[in-house]
Amino acid sequence: MSLQSHLTASISSSSSQFLAPSNFNSSRSVSVSVPTKRLGTCRCVATPAEEKTTYKTKVSRNANIAKLQAGYLFPEVARRRNAHLAKYPDAKVISLGIGDTTEPIPEVITSAMSKRSYGLSTLEGYSGYGAEQGERPLRAAIASTFYKDLGIEEDDIFVSDGAKCDISRLQIVFGSDVTMAVQDPSYPAYVDSSVIMGQTGQYQKDVQKYANIEYMKCTPENGFFPDLSTVARTDIIFFCSPNNPTGAAATREQLTRLVRFAKDNGSIIVYDSAYAMYMSNDNPRSIFEIPGAKEVAIETASFSKYAGFTGVRLGWTVVPKQLLFSDGSPIAKDFNRIVCTCFNGASNISQAGGLACLSPEGFKAMQEVIGFYKQNTEIIMETFNSLGFKVYGGTNAPYVWVHFPGRSSWDVFAEILEKTHVVTTPGSGFGPGGEGFIRVSAFGHRENVLEACRRFKQLYK
């Protein structure tokens, strides 16, 4: 993320119908609702274009998109970072906010991509349209690497340009008439894509929730696993484990309960396992380790946080052929139709990289990158532990979830930035259940993580 793009990031107030063009270019934009009252300097911006243009089409704005809160979490974080930089131009700002990978991709992987690129200049190496579902050797390698002995076959795997993109394609499959549940707090794409597809009601400012979404509260009190006895039945249940942002990983027993809950209700679980390889203990790496899950679950995953592929773009989604709609038709059939109609396959070069990731040498290299970030995580955990904070996550995920009981997330975020020049992410950006927490990302160069921790120790000693 360049400084240039940081500097163009900005945000409008949620009451504004118009964003200046520069706002379209905010560098990061996973969107979440940010309480307007905390936005500080936000304002409506009119451009010269707006003044000159009087012609309007007669096309009505999509009412579902209008429901979305204007605030994007990460651009707002970037905006505050930039305001901070303007205030302290000489400060060495360290970002442990956005969760973007920083370490180079192992050469065994990039050389495969490089070779594939060059090969495209030869008659033998050239390939045009590939299968929208992904190249067969990669699908087979994913199946045998991550789902061996779980009854997941090559044909159940759909290679994609990333989990975030697949989440929206799944929402297109489900359509506007389903109901959905989500962990609170959670990765904002689940809720936002649900709003976009028209599954929800309006945003309710008082509770900071959209109507018609079941928010499953995940707190230290319930071990970050929802009390299913109080959760209403929904068609779809989004569930991320190890979780972003809390870092909590569900146990085998908890996931068995979740699968049972889905089965009793006839629900579909969309299980996001993008951080599975960060698991330290023996919790399941895949929902399909739970017997019966193939009849109630979809799993989405990604190479982003394993191989540093955040920019290369490669992920996959597992839709077992055993998963059926109420009319008996397979979800995989409709997902395949959407993948074929709304997508055209991941880049063939990225797929060559993915295949290299799953070679013995590539897999080992990938594990080393993950190990590096896990060491970062330990350093951050030890730091906050030593300062007497209650610290969650970290063990099974590259995120440390630090509790500041009774305090506003945005206030703590501002305090840390002001006094240590370190960017974190306010927990309330992930849903109302994140209030009072700060997410500290372990993605960073070692010297930056160490320096950030030195500063935390000075601030909170």
Instruction: Please tell me whether residue 14 binds a copy of itself under the rule CB under 8 A.
Output: no
Closest approach of Cβ 325 to a copy of itself, in Å? 4
Instruction: Please tell me whether residue 447 binds a copy of itself under the rule CB under 8 A.
Output: no
Look up residue 133 and give its amino acid.
Q
Instruction: Please tell me whether residue 272 binds a copy of itself under the rule CB under 8 A.
Output: no
Rounded distance, CA 237 to CA 214, Å? 9
3-state secondary structure 78-111: HHHHHHHHHHCCCCCCEECCCCCCCCCCCHHHHH
Among 344, 367, 375, 458, binds a copy of itself (CB under 8 A): 344
Rounded distance, CA 331 to CA 321, Å? 7
CA distance from start to end of the chain? 32
Closest approach of Cβ 83 to a copy of itself, in Å? 20
Question: Which helix (H) or strand (E) segment is 316 a member of?
Answer: strand 315-318
Retrieve residue 293's tokens.
């899950």
Closest approach of Cβ 431 to a copy of itself, in Å? 16
Instruction: Please tell me whether residue 313 binds a copy of itself under the rule CB under 8 A.
Output: yes
Instruction: Please tell me whether residue 145 binds a copy of itself under the rule CB under 8 A.
Output: no
Among 265, 280, 385, 386, binds a copy of itself (CB under 8 A): 265
Instruction: Please tell me whether residue 51 binds a copy of itself under the rule CB under 8 A.
Output: no
Among 40, 201, 223, 311, binds a copy of itself (CB under 8 A): 311
**Binding residues for a copy of itself restricted to 208-237, rule: CB under 8 A:** 235-236
Instruction: Please tell me whether residue 338 binds a copy of itself under the rule CB under 8 A.
Output: yes
Taking residue 378's Cβ as centre, other Cβ atoms within 10 Å add up to 14
Rounded distance, CA 429 to CA 27, Å? 17
Question: Which helix (H) or strand (E) segment is 349 a member of?
Answer: helix 348-357
Instruction: Please tell me whether residue 266 binds a copy of itself under the rule CB under 8 A.
Output: yes
Among 44, 46, 91, 120, binds a copy of itself (CB under 8 A): 120
Instruction: Please tell me whether residue 13 binds a copy of itself under the rule CB under 8 A.
Output: no
**Binding residues for a copy of itself restricted to 177-206, rule: CB under 8 A:** 177-178, 189, 192-193, 196, 198
Question: Which helix (H) or strand (E) segment is 450 a member of?
Answer: helix 446-460
- Three-state DSSP state, 204: strand
Size of the site for a copy of itself (CB under 8 A): 129
Rounded distance, CA 399 to CA 430, Å? 13
Rounded distance, CA 237 to CA 269, Å? 5
Q: Which is nearer to a copy of itself, 72 or 392 (CB)?
A: 72
Q: Which is nearer to a copy of itself, 219 or 350 (CB)?
A: 350
**Only segment of 79-87, 116-124, 222-230, 238-246 that touches a copy of itself (CB under 8 A):** 116-124
Instruction: Please tell me whether residue 15 binds a copy of itself under the rule CB under 8 A.
Output: no
Please list, in sequence order, all residues whose beta carbon lies within 8 angstroms of the beta carbon of residue 362, skipping any fewer than 6 positions away: 106, 108, 109, 112, 307, 356
Among 36, 82, 111, 385, binds a copy of itself (CB under 8 A): 111
**Only segment of 47-55, 200-208, 413-421, 423-431 that touches a copy of itself (CB under 8 A):** 47-55
- Three-state DSSP state, 364: helix
| Burial profile 204-233: b = 16 or more Cβ within 10 angstroms, e = fewer | eeeebbbeebbbbbbbeeeebbbebeebee
Look up residue 175 and give its amino acid.
G
Among 40, 104, 201, 291, binds a copy of itself (CB under 8 A): 104
* Residue entry with tokens 């927490």: 437
Among 11, 34, 94, 105, binds a copy of itself (CB under 8 A): 105
**Binding residues for a copy of itself restricted to 367-426, rule: CB under 8 A:** none
Rounded distance, CA 203 to CA 305, Å? 31
Look up residue 461 and give its amino acid.
K
Closest approach of Cβ 403 to a copy of itself, in Å? 27
**Only segment of 33-41, 142-150, 243-251, 303-311 that touches a copy of itself (CB under 8 A):** 303-311
- Three-state DSSP state, 15: coil
Instruction: Please tell me whether residue 148 binds a copy of itself under the rule CB under 8 A.
Output: no
**Only segment of 33-41, 65-73, 215-223, 397-405 that touches a copy of itself (CB under 8 A):** 65-73
Q: Which is nearer to a copy of itself, 223 or 371 (CB)?
A: 371
